[in-house]
Amino acid sequence: MGRALHGRARHFHIQNESMIYVVSSYLTGENPPFLRDGDAAFEMTRHVLRLHADGYRILKSIDPDLTVATIEVYVDPHPADSGDPDLVRAAEQFDAWYHGVPLRALATGCVELPGREPEEIPHLKGALDLYGFNYYCSTQFRHGSVGYHSDLEEPPIDAMGRPVHPGGLEEGLVRVGQALPSVPLLVTENGCPTVDEEFRIRYVAAHLAALNRARQRGVDVRGYFHWTAVDNYEWHQGFSDARFGLITFDPETGKRQVKRSGDWFREVIGRGTLVPHELP
């Protein structure tokens, strides 16, 4: 792929959301191969990190001037009750694995999985020129289940039933920036599933403001990509009200039309500033 695209592409992300793949396919069993096996999830964590290291080395051997990055979803885990030590421990343990292991491995080249001997992958240390950061919502650990977290008593809820929590974007960017202080960040996905254009505009504005707060705290965030341009087919929802686009898409006719949020976003980009009193 690197050889075929050399001279046409200069920016590569080796994997997209590898840890979400590990969780949904090997821990929660939502996606193929539908396993619910903690040991398998740990082993796959090691494999996706080794895959990243190999991909980085291969692409850099083709052209050392390429920008080679990774993309992960930040899930921002919280206990449902901060006074419950079991829930606090569950959130902390998940965070230490899901976020902590890959971040530490990228910084040091050492994969330190719980209950296993550390494994050195020499070409993994520093094997990224940029960190792609995806964020949609925060996670909440409850007794017997996992849900979504917000710091509001009655938060807005998107079409997938997820409460809005922009603070998770800010804190996540700060967390990754501190773990990889020499690596610039790029928000590679952020958006919300909805057919309510006022909801979408306010969601995006709140998260752009959170990104700006992270930059003010010293995080080197280079840019923001909205997910997505055109309404897409969601794996588990299909063509439903879970529509992320700034542009409509009619699956029957193929017709597309810019939405109100798309017009608003174009104006924000052109102006380079958010104007709070202009929000719906």
Q: In what order do the strands lie in the sheet with 11-16?
A: 11-16, 67-73, 130-134, 185-189, 221-224
Tokens of 216: 């003010």
Lookup result for tokens 């409460």: 163
Nearest to 147 by CA among 134, 166, 168, 163: 163
Helix (H, G, I), strand (E, B) or coil at 57: helix
Is 234's pLDDT higher than 90?
Answer: no
Query: What's the pLDDT tens digit per position in 181-215?
Result: 999 999 999 999 999 999 999 999 999 999 999 99
Helix (H, G, I), strand (E, B) or coil at 120: strand
Share of the chain above pLDDT 70, in %: 100
Convert 181-211 to b/e letters by CB count within 10 Å (16 or more is b). Answer: eebbbbbbbbbbbbebbebbbbbbbbbbebb
Question: Are 148 and 162 in contact, with CB atoms under 8 Å apart?
Answer: yes
Query: What's the pLDDT tens digit per position in 153-163?
Result: 999 999 999 99
Convert 97-113 to b/e letters by CB count within 10 Å (16 or more is b). Answer: bbbbbbbbbbbebebeb
Assigned superfamily of 2-278: Glycosidases (3.20.20.80)
Work out the pLDDT band at 239, boundaries 50, 70, 90.
Answer: confident
pTM equals: 0.96
Q: Where are the alpha helices (DSSP H) in 63-166?
A: 85-95, 101-108
Give me the amino acid identity at 3.
R
Query: What's the pLDDT tens digit per position in 243-280?
Result: 999 999 998 999 999 999 999 999 999 999 999 888 99
Give me the amino acid identity at 227.
W
